[in-house]
Amino acid sequence: MAQRASDAGQPSPYILETSGLMKEFRGFVAVDGVDLKVRRGSIHALIGPNGAGKTTCFNLLTKFLQPTRGSIRFNGRDITREAPQRIARLGLVRSFQISAVFPHLTVLENVRIALQRALGTTFHFWKSERSLAALDERALALLAEVGLAEHAGMVAVEMPYGRKRALEIATTLALDPELMLLDEPTQGMGHEDVDRVMQLIRKVAADRTVLMVEHNMKVVSGICDAITVLARGAVLAEGDYAAVSANEAVIEAYMGSSGAALAGAPA
């Protein structure tokens, strides 16, 4: 896979870079000149108060939206005008690019469908189920990676919410991403499920890069190597959790929303 070389001829340490990224909707600037650098092998969080532009930024990175101005580079390649399916094949995958969990299929069948997409055989409806058995070994390995191997035969609708999110991560892993973009992976979870998903993200990030939007500061402080804070569509601060949580501009931006969570989370 192509990687941009530095002046010294070494691969760039950054897997994803944006320059002056901007999105305007009929005069409203939702993302305003964002320069973002995501280091290879890191867990990088994109945070900010409601309306900061996080989701719009994610939609630009995964090409569900086209930027008004600016550029996006993945592995040194300019993907600013690429289609979503193209960048997924390049290895940049957002968690919901796979269809949401199919509730009336088993856990194994859900992952097998994702593997069919990776093979380009999703719409081969005329093939017998036996012909798909060749995918079972890889599907079970993915389920083991996210701690769901023993639930392979369970119908997805019967699983608790936290395990469904783990299943969604397994279906994303089926596309063999080099960079995973996770949009609020712990939203709506209780403490036990949050802890489980934190451990899961840390595990799957061992040999890939993760960029995530997350509101739960326990998650951000607990597993993220780097944080970019957005406010009103622009970068407000960057750094590790200790640096951004002590930044006065960040504290002010969060006041009245998630400020207490930001200040109270462990460093």
pLDDT for 100 beyond 80:
no
Task: Say if residue 116 is in the same domain as residue 84.
Answer: no
pLDDT for 8 beyond 70:
no
pLDDT computed for residue 190 by the predictor: 86
What's the chain's average pLDDT? 86
CA atoms within 13 A on the CB side of 60: 31
Gap between the Cα atoms of 131 and 128, Å rounded: 5
266 in a structural domain = no
Domain tally, the chain: 2
54 in a structural domain = yes
Helix/strand/coil percent split, the chain, to 5: 40, 25, 35
Task: Say if residue 127 is in the same domain as residue 155.
Answer: yes
263 in a structural domain = no
pLDDT for 244 beyond 60:
yes
Gap between the Cα atoms of 51 and 150, Å rounded: 40
pLDDT in tens, 140-191: 999 999 999 999 999 999 998 889 889 999 998 988 899 999 988 888 888 8
Q: Which range, 114-123, 128-137, 213-222, has the best average confidence (pLDDT)?
A: 213-222
267 in a structural domain = no
CA atoms within 13 A on the CB side of 123: 0
Taking a C-beta distance cutoff of 8 angstroms, is the pair 188, 102 a contact? Answer: no
Task: Say if residue 107 is in the same domain as residue 198.
Answer: no
259 pairs with which residues across the strands?
A: none
Domain boundary among 174, 206, 236: 174
Task: Say if residue 192 is in the same domain as residue 91.
Answer: yes
Residue with tokens 């596309």: 175
pLDDT computed for residue 24 by the predictor: 96
Domain boundary among 174, 193, 210: 174
pLDDT for 212 beyond 80:
yes
Confidence of residue 85 (pLDDT cuts 50, 70, 90): confident
Q: What is the CATH number of the domain that holds 26?
A: 3.40.50.300
pLDDT average, residue stretch 12-40: 96
Of 33-37, 55-59, 255-259, where does mean pLDDT reach its minimum?
A: 255-259
241 in a structural domain = yes
pLDDT for 90 beyond 50:
yes
Sign of CA dihedral 55, 60, 64, 69: positive
Residue with tokens 């990676």: 145
Gap between the Cα atoms of 204 and 210, Å rounded: 9
264 in a structural domain = no
Task: Say if residue 160 is in the same domain as residue 225.
Answer: no
Nearest Cα residue to 142 out of 168, 163, 173, 107: 173
Domain boundary among 142, 174, 206: 174
Task: Say if residue 57 is in the same domain as residue 28.
Answer: yes
pLDDT computed for residue 129 by the predictor: 59
Task: Say if residue 113 is in the same domain as residue 166.
Answer: yes
pTM, two decimal places: 0.85
Task: Say if residue 202 is in the same domain as residue 224.
Answer: yes
Domain hosting 193: range is 1-96+178-257
Residue of higher predicted confidence among 109 and 2: 109
Taking a C-beta distance cutoff of 8 angstroms, is the pair 178, 88 a contact? Answer: no
